[in-house]
Amino acid sequence: MKHALHKMNPSVKFLLITICMFTMAFFFDPWTPFVFWIGILVLQLLFSRIDWKKWLLFMLPFFVTAFGYFWTTLVFAEDQSGPVIWSIWNVHVTETQLNHALSLSFRVLAFSSLSLLFALTTNPTTFIMSLMQQLKLSPKIAYGVMVGYQFLPVLKDEFMHIGQAQRLRGITQEKNAFQRLLGTRRVLIPMLAGAVRKAERAAFSMEARGFTGERRSSYFQVIKVGKIDTALAVVFLLVLVLSCTNRLWLDF
């Protein structure tokens, strides 16, 4: 049970999340995204092994963003119709303003939690292989993205090594954030040159191994759609339907 979302077919998961996000975009009441967000958290609790401390760390910027949407919508909303709920100094908060603020905030939390759920339960290589097999993505694009993803840790290490080499040569460390931002130019130019050389070597290596970009009949990793994918798809759609119909129960 705890590994179900991690074992789910990435393409099926991607399509379900896209459908859920697209559907949520058409609901402007606060209760629909709120119920959907709670449903996503329950799915995450039951069917994944995501570390909640790590999840809270990743979600912290989105919580701040949701609070920002909530506060700015209350203060600067154009539509101020409806009964006044409370007044803060010269700011009058109406029922319409509160509904809009809650709707935007819960929508940010729902979308971010859904995206984070996909990112934390999906292996990037398996996802690319699934896109080629189930969604017929072009091998040129798929393997290009896969090679680029594999280079990300290398670029991170190279960024640190270039910075250390420059400090050994007597280039002092900038004191404030603005100087650090301007100082990144000294690192970006050698990183760009190194990235071009690595891309050239990767292209030569793929060509030497017979990669032409043509679609082949077999893959080194076969990704299938199984019973677990069907079951979780039903659960996802059930959460989506319950979220979209809760406004009928609440007569909102």
What are the pLDDT digits (tens) for 46-87? 998 898 899 999 999 999 999 998 888 877 766 566 666 666
Q: How confident is the model at residue 252 (pLDDT cuts 50, 70, 90)?
A: very low
149 and 197, same domain (yes or no): yes
- Can you give the residue range of the structural domain that contains 167? 139-208
Average pLDDT for 103-130: 91
203 and 229, same domain (yes or no): no
9 and 70, same domain (yes or no): yes
107 and 149, same domain (yes or no): no
78 and 119, same domain (yes or no): yes
Q: Report the pLDDT value the prediction gives residue 83, as an integer from 0 to 100.
A: 67
At 189-230, the pLDDT tens digits run 777 887 788 778 877 777 777 776 666 667 677 888 888 899
Which stretch of DSSP H or E encloses residue 86?
strand 84-88
61 and 116, same domain (yes or no): yes
AA identity, residue 27: F
**Least reliable range by pLDDT among 24-28, 126-130, 133-137, 195-199:** 195-199
36 and 86, same domain (yes or no): yes
CB 17, CB 119: distance < 8 Å: no
203 and 231, same domain (yes or no): no
56 and 154, same domain (yes or no): no
Burial 117-126 (b: 16+ CB within 10 A, else e): bbebbbeeeb
Phi and psi of 85, rounded to 5°?
A: -85, -50
240 and 185, same domain (yes or no): no
Which residues, in sequence order, are CB contacts of 137 under 8 Å at separation 6+? Answer: 128, 131
At 5-45, the pLDDT tens digits run 988 999 999 999 999 999 988 888 888 899 999 999 999 99
Number of domains in the chain: 2
Q: How far apart are CA 58 and CA 55, in angstroms?
A: 5
In a domain, 216, yes or no: no
52 and 117, same domain (yes or no): yes
CB 9, CB 52: distance < 8 Å: no
In a domain, 40, yes or no: yes
Which stretch of DSSP H or E encloses residue 213?
none
Q: How far apart are CA 68 and CA 45, in angstroms?
A: 27
